[in-house]
């Protein structure tokens, strides 16, 4: 669909969804972002847009010489990884419970972590240099290197997941969603608090949108920690994918794997748009440059899409990161029961208890509609439907 433009105080807001579908809280956030003097060109709003802490989920913000840590979010580097395997639907047994159990044994979920480091030379490159750079992060008493080491290769909770999926041709895929775990959250919270107290942010319409300015010590420290946490998240997904692949191989030892697709959807990147160098913040959005492969998940009962970017300049070459919530977790827990969850995840080997009712498919927007709304941002490569879903 063509984007709808809404005038803003400093720059316009361009939405790849109907304006009347955006809740009032989220629209106020978008107007606050559009009023910031550092915001460049316009604010690009993805079809999965919804209210978020600090900044709107599903927003793409380009800034000149500035960045807002709250516009990245607290799970720095959160994103997706997917890989197509050589298996087909015919290879899978009638009961997928043993495969789900093998994945849950391999990848700690929720607050759990590995007892010892789970990564090795097969995963994500030079580990020595990476862990050495941990010592250069912001000095905060909450940082714990041993915890960060043992959380590497873990899922977390909330909307994070590991899935076994089938595409429309019957090919089996592995897919997972996670971020920088506790260490990224600690760093994000620290820098958001620092930004709020800076003098140049005192008159902002929303102090949660406080920014760091280029050339300052605060910006230097944030960029160092930010890019480290984004690398941690990328490595975390690489380790998990290897662990899940190994679990799959215990059941299907001759399986082979294609090249993985991996994308961040809560992050900052240095890019050139409309002829200018800017810092682009994607919070709940993926890069969709021309030819870029991406992953747009739905919910635990509906399915997901593998897409290819069309490089639309008006979206800052971006697309949505998922279906997006249409109701809060609290509202979902009040409105739905474990019985509803079981009905909506029929045919999926997954948890069906009250502990994950807030992740029920009805709490999310229609993923097919979200994909249609961004037909000028991405093209569909494959549609996936999960048969196994592991959640924290």
Strands (E), 274-362: 276-283, 285-287, 293-297, 304-309, 318-320
**Alpha carbon distances (Å) from 33 to 40, 59, 206:** 10, 10, 9
Distance CA 316, CA 361 (A): 29
User: 79-88 and 261-264 as β-strands: parallel, antiparallel, unpaired?
Assistant: antiparallel
Distance CA 360, CA 344 (A): 7
Contact 341, 352 (CB under 8 A): yes
Surface-to-core class of residue 362, CB atoms within 10 Å of its CB (0-12 exposed, 13-18 middle, 19+ buried): middle
Gyration radius of the chain over CA positions: 20
Q: Is 321 a catalytic residue?
A: yes
Return the biggest CA–CA distance within the chain: 63
Distance CA 373, CA 3 (A): 9
The catalytically annotated residue of 31, 160, 191, 321 is 321
Tokens of 55: 């900044």
Distance CA 347, CA 263 (A): 28
Residues paired with 175 in a beta bridge: 82, 163
Residues paired with 118 in a beta bridge: none
Distance CA 285, CA 310 (A): 15
Query: Any idea what DSSP says for residue 199?
Result: G
Tokens of 239: 């380790």
Alpha helices in the chain (DSSP H): 24-35, 97-106, 127-134, 145-151, 181-196, 217-251, 329-335, 338-344, 367-373
- Catalogue the active-site residues: 321
């Amino acid at each position: 669909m063509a984007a709808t433009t809404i005038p803003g105080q400093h720059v316009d807001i361009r939405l790849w969804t109907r304006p009347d579908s955006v809740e009032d809280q989220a629209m106020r956030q978008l107007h606050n972002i559009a009023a910031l003097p550092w915001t460049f060109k316009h604010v690009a709003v993805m079809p999965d847009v919804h209210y978020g802490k600090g900044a709107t989920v599903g927003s793409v913000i380009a800034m000149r010489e500035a960045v807002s840590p709250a516009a990245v979010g607290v799970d720095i580097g959160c994103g997706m990884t997917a890989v197509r395997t050589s298996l087909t639907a015919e290879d899978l047994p009638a009961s997928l419970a043993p495969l789900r159990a093998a994945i849950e044994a391999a990848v700690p979920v929720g607050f759990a972590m590995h007892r010892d480091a789970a990564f090795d030379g097969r995963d994500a490159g030079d580990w020595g240099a990476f862990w050495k750079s941990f010592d250069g992060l912001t000095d905060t008493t909450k940082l714990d290197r041993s915890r960060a080491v043992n959380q590497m290769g873990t899922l977390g909770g909330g909307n994070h997941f590991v899935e076994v999926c089938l595409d429309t041709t019957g090919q089996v895929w592995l897919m997972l969603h996670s971020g920088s775990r506790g260490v990224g959250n600690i760093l994000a919270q620290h820098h958001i608090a620092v930004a709020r107290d800076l003098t140049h942010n005192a008159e902002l319409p929303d102090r949660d949108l406080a920014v760091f300015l280029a050339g300052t010590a605060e910006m230097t420290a944030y960029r160092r920690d930010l890019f480290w946490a984004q690398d941690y998240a990328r490595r975390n997904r690489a380790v998990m994918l290897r662990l899940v692949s190994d679990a799959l191989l215990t059941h299907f030892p001759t399986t082979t794997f294609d090249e993985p697709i991996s994308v961040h959807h809560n992050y900052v990147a240095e890019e050139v748009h409309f002829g200018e160098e800017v810092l682009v913040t994607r919070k709940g959005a993926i890069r969709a440059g021309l030819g870029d492969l991406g992953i747009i998940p739905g919910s635990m009962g509906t399915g997901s899409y593998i897409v290819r970017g069309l490089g639309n300049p008006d979206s800052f070459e971006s697309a949505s990161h998922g279906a997006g919530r249409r109701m809060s977790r609290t509202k979902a827990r009040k409105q739905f029961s474990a019985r509803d969850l079981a009905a909506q995840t029929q045919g999926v080997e997954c948890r069906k208890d009250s502990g994950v009712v807030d992740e029920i498919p009805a709490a999310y927007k229609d993923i097919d509609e979200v994909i249609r709304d961004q037909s000028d941002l991405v093209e569909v490569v494959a549609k996936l439907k999960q048969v196994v879903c592991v959640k924290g």
